[in-house]
Structure 1
């Protein structure tokens, strides 16, 4: 079902009910609600890192930055041949960011933009919207930092909407709609603040992963 005009409040209401909007393409102004029978989720504080990814992390020069340039991360995520982020959605994300309900993690390597992700927060739920890499492992590093940060801030649900092979390799799973909605209802009762903690440095991320694996 499409919605001709969607407000930030309506978007948050949709998330609270377990649905999310997407566009057919960047050039189509319409938005459609999606309610897939299976939902992708990632573990909070327990994303899997391969040995090669850990070696890359350990080599250093990786850093993460919270909400440094939210709109740039969104634009980078939308800058691909096929995208579901159109102009109306980008404006909604911008408005939600200003209201404190949308956040981005930007990853840098040697000081240069390497990737990132952004998502929506509601209660203790984080709805991951999109991620991208400008360098090898950029989006994977963003997931490592996001998972750690969500745990530090008290989040209990890391929603990825759909499960991709990329997410599955990092510990993502699919759960049926009814189970997702139970987890969502529980998370919505919680109170978490995405900006209540500073992002850890690369050494802290490496130690967290190696100590729990």
Structure 2
């Protein structure tokens, strides 16, 4: 049974989520509720025309930064500097392209206009971040997500040319490694990320890592200068 949320800023225990991961319906996408959701092991995911659906799946698909796998085929991409990667330079464009991207078996988009504006506001507050991948000044790949403590919660990525999104993701993981991030939450399984070292963990293990990660100070604000250090 899914819980209907009221205006009260609270969520039911994640252990009461459905087998497919659904936990609650309704509420809003205010920054206070979104940040509470991430701190509680919950995230929103729904289609246009549906109420907001809050998820807490078991197992959880994650990446431990130190387990990143970079294939041999990707090494020339970096050595030859085929792409330029930036952080937090064009958040709105990244989420907009993610919204417009169509994936196999997907009808419409789960990034509603309401969600787009909510995450742009989180970016303005310093909690949401983007990775941009450029080729000759054209945005050809990218991803965005939310950061709290030493966890990065990945939301969506796109690639307009081969290896663009992989380049952005690998660059981000390297930067998170330097700053001792403990986890990247990828939420649900994708073969793309599994090939780079992501894995499934139980919700119980995920919550333990999350609890410890939230004890660390959040890298709030723009990450633009990270790649220049």
The two structures share one fold, judged by TM-score above 0.5: yes
The correspondence of residues 91-102 of structure 1 with structure 2, limited to 5 A, is 91-102=117-128
Question: 2: distance between equivalents of 1:3 and 1:63?
Answer: 40
SS in 2 for 1:60: coil
Question: 1: distance between equivalents of 2:97 and 2:224?
Answer: 25
**Residues 1:45 and 1:111: Cα distance change in structure 2 (over 3 Å):** farther
Structure 2 residue aligned with 1:65: 86
- In 2, are the aligned partners of 1:125 and 1:159 still within 8 Å (CA)? yes
For structure 1, the 5+ residue unaligned runs are: 205-213
The one-character-per-residue Cα deviations of 1:89-146 (angstroms, maximum 9, x if unpaired) are: 1111011011101010101123321201100011121100011101111110111111
The correspondence of residues 51-90 of structure 1 with structure 2, limited to 5 A, is 51-81=72-102, 82=106, 83-90=109-116
Q: Which has the larger radius of gyration?
A: 2
Q: What is the TM-score normalised by the length of structure 2?
A: 0.81
Q: CA deviation at 1:87?
A: 1.4
1:48 aligns with 2:69: yes
Structure 2 residue aligned with 1:137: 163
For structure 2, the 5+ residue unaligned runs are: 1-23
Number of residue equivalences:
200
The one-character-per-residue Cα deviations of 1:64-102 (angstroms, maximum 9, x if unpaired) are: 111111010001111123321111211110110111010
Structure with larger RCO (C-alpha < 8 A, sep 6+): 1
Structure 1 residue aligned with 2:173: 147
SS in 2 for 1:48: coil
Please point out which of 113, 117, 122 is paired with 2:148: 122
Q: CA deviation at 1:154?
A: 3.3
